[in-house]
Amino acid sequence: MADVAVIGAGFIGLSCAHWLLRDGHRVTLFDAQGPGEGASYGNAGTFANYACIPVNNPDVFRNLPRFLFSPTSPLRIRWRYLPKLAPWLARFLLNATPRRYEHSAAALAALLSRAFEGYREMLAMDALAGFVREGECLYLYSGAASFKGAQASLALRRSLGVAFETLERDGIRVLEPNLAPIFEHGTLFTGSWFLSDPRGFLQALDASMTRRGLHHERVAIDRIEPTRNGVRLVDTSGRAFDTARAIVCAGALSGRFARQCGDAVPLDTERGYHVRFPDTSSLISRPCGWAERGFYMTPMTGGIRAAGTVELGGFGPERNADLLKLLRTSAREALPALTQPDTDWLGFRPSLPDGLPVIGPSRRSPHVVYAFGHQHLGVTLGGVTGSVVADLVTGRASPVDLEPYSPRRF
């Protein structure tokens, strides 16, 4: 079996490592940080196997004035970043036409339908099962107009196999009595679940794989150089590592590696935020999303995490005070018993303009395989992505048609 280097210790990299180890490969994980420190740290933790509707759906055009000008809009653009963002943004909007959006939704649904299978074995491990919570995700609408506007996408979800129940005000109250009575409609996504601590889950997975032979190199990779029979990785101090295969799972920072391997992949980031309200987890029993405000409240270890929003604006560390305030005030509007938040967080979703990940071999070498760009769904799609990557490396036919996720589609 081959020596395989996995670059990146987030949901995607660790899931790839799991499936590759299972096939008997010798796996080394390269990351200067510990497991689950990137976008995989601060997300909403939902196993959102229902979320096959890309952010850039045709409603984007209808909602554009609200997105751009309303103080409660969960979508912001850092205008200084616009010149750099413009080509990505143009493609993002072009992909919001009905035909392209339906293509992306069907391709996402194909992966999502296998998402649980991708995690089944991991969830059977005692060390990981303790992080899994059964509560199904509840998506809420405070306005009748937005619920009406969501009907087309709900019908598309249903036609793609997503199961959900529709609830009205009283039904919502029965499920979550501490929510303010401001939600007129809701959808409860059958069979979804969530994690009480996404990073804790990954740390436990990493520890279990370390016992099974996973090797670590705590370095940042600078270059990937395909060689005749394999791949050379060079870290930021100039040290070289030769390996038979390399899997690129560096999240939103994967684009440079793709360019080094001959693929101009338009990867950018959708910045997202969370705020944590300590010691409040008993207020709700499942992730509750607020459609109009673009975030989830998830009861996690240590408190409720209000996570979401989208800010198009590159990789700078500056935090958007307006979006953080929106998360704080919206969460308190929805759940009046919430206390003061104690921490906030900014993370970088790896996003491509068609809302689909990149999974497949590089142009320059079959020994380099990409697995990045999981946008809002990396927690959910980690397991299935790992299984597909292991199929590619081991030379098995994949049960998933990988064409929609090809790096050459751009």
Ligand X SMILES: Cc1cc2nc3c(=O)[nH]c(=O)nc-3n(C[C@H](O)[C@H](O)[C@H](O)COP(=O)(O)OP(=O)(O)OC[C@H]3O[C@@H](n4cnc5c(N)ncnc54)[C@H](O)[C@@H]3O)c2cc1C
Q: Which residues bind ligand X (CB under 6 A)?
A: 7-13, 30-33, 37-40, 43-46, 48, 220-221, 249-251, 253, 272-274, 307-308, 347, 349-350, 372, 374-380
Sheet holding 215-217, edge to edge: 215-217, 26-30, 3-7, 245-248, 368-372, 358-361
CB neighbour list of residue 236: distance below 8 Å, 6 or more residues apart = 219, 220, 221, 222
Provide the minimum distance between the beta carbon of 56 and ligand X in the complex, in angstroms, as a whole number. Answer: 16
Nearest distance in Å: CB 235, ligand X: 8
Report in angstroms how near the CB of residue 13 gets to ligand X at its nearest.
5
Q: Give the integer Cα–Cα distance in Å for 171 and 178.
A: 13
* C-beta of 134 vs 170, nearer to ligand X: 134
Cβ proximity to ligand X, 9 vs 167, nearer residue: 9
By beta-carbon proximity to ligand X, the closer residue of 184 and 217 is: 217
Nearer to ligand X, 168 or 342 (CB): 342
Among the listed residues 136, 192, 139, 188, the one whose alpha carbon sits nearest the alpha carbon of residue 165: 188
Nearer to ligand X, 3 or 184 (CB): 3
Distance from C-alpha of 144 to C-alpha of 21, rounded to nearest angstrom = 49
Least Å distance, CB 372 to ligand X, is 5
What are the phi and psi torsion angles at 17 (to 5°)?
A: -60, -40
Smallest separation, CB 382 to ligand X (Å): 7
> What are φ and ψ of residue 48, in 5° steps?
-100, 65
What is the distance in angstroms between the CA of the first residue and the CA of the last residue of the chain?
A: 33
Residue nearer to ligand X on the CB measure, 7 or 331: 7
CB of 99 to ligand X, least distance (A): 25
Residue 344 bridge partners (DSSP)? 275
With respect to ligand X, which residue has the nearer C-beta, 160 or 323?
323
Which residue, 160 or 246, has its beta carbon nearer to ligand X? 246
Tokens standing for residue 20: 């590759």
Minimum CB distance to ligand X smaller for 249 or for 261 = 249
Shortest distance, CB of residue 380 to ligand X, whole angstroms?
Answer: 4
CB atoms within 10 A of CB 191: 13
Nearest to 284, CA basis, from 262, 306, 264, 315? 306
Q: How far apart are CA 393 and CA 141, in angstroms?
A: 44
Query: Strand 288-290 and strand 295-300: pairing?
Result: antiparallel
Distance in Å, CB of 285 to ligand X, minimum: 16
Q: CB under 8 Å to 126, separation ≥6 — which residues?
A: none
Q: Which two tokens stand for residue 330?
A: 């919206």
Nearest CB to ligand X, comparing residues 121 and 222? 222
Between CA 373 and CA 384, with CA 379 as vertex, the angle to 5 degrees is: 75
Least Å distance between CB 194 and ligand X? 7
Question: Cα separation of 165 and 188, whole Å?
Answer: 5
Segment (H or E) for 152:
helix 151-159
Smallest Cα–Cα separation from 319: which of 351, 277, 278, 271? 271
User: What single-letter DSSP state applies at residue 135?
Assistant: P
Three-state secondary structure call for residue 212: coil
Q: How far is the CB of 323 from ligand X (least distance, A)?
A: 10
